[in-house]
Amino acid sequence: MIIKIGDTITDERGRTGELNSIGIATSTNDIAGELGVQAKEYDTDLNYTGAITFGDNWCYFIQIKKVNGTDLTDWQK
């Protein structure tokens, strides 16, 4: 599923907010992608390592549960 700046994100902990930043890791020492590529959109099907900030929260890509109300597990079926 493609995520974009401005989307509404819910993580596996139930936290929800507007997507502010997408960081893609470019080094094994920076799994959150803080020093890597900053993107405006990202396709979760690529399975890259990185993290997003949404509202006052952040999570790794793998922890994203919903995008604009659509469950990622439903999207992947």
Q: pLDDT class for 72, splitting at 50, 70, 90? A: confident
> Do the domain assignments include residue 26?
yes
Q: What is the pLDDT of residues 3-49, one digit of tens each?
A: 999 999 999 999 999 999 999 999 999 999 999 999 999 999 999 99
Q: Which domain does 47 fall in, by range?
A: 2-70
Helix (H) or strand (E) holding 2: strand 2-4
Write down the pLDDT at residue 77: 46
59 in a structural domain: yes
Name the pTM for this structure. Answer: 0.91
Q: Which residues lie below 8 Å from residue 29, measured CB to CB, with a gap of 6+?
A: none
Region of residue 58 (phi > 0: left; psi between -120 and 50: alpha; otherwise: beta): beta
More reliable by pLDDT, 39 or 72: 39
Considering its fold, how many domains does the chain have in total?
1
> Residue 65 carries which side chain, given as an amino acid letter?
K
Q: Is the pLDDT of residue 50 over 90?
A: yes
Domain presence at residue 65: yes
**What does the DSSP 8-state code read for residue 54?**
E
The verdict on residue 21 lying in a domain is yes
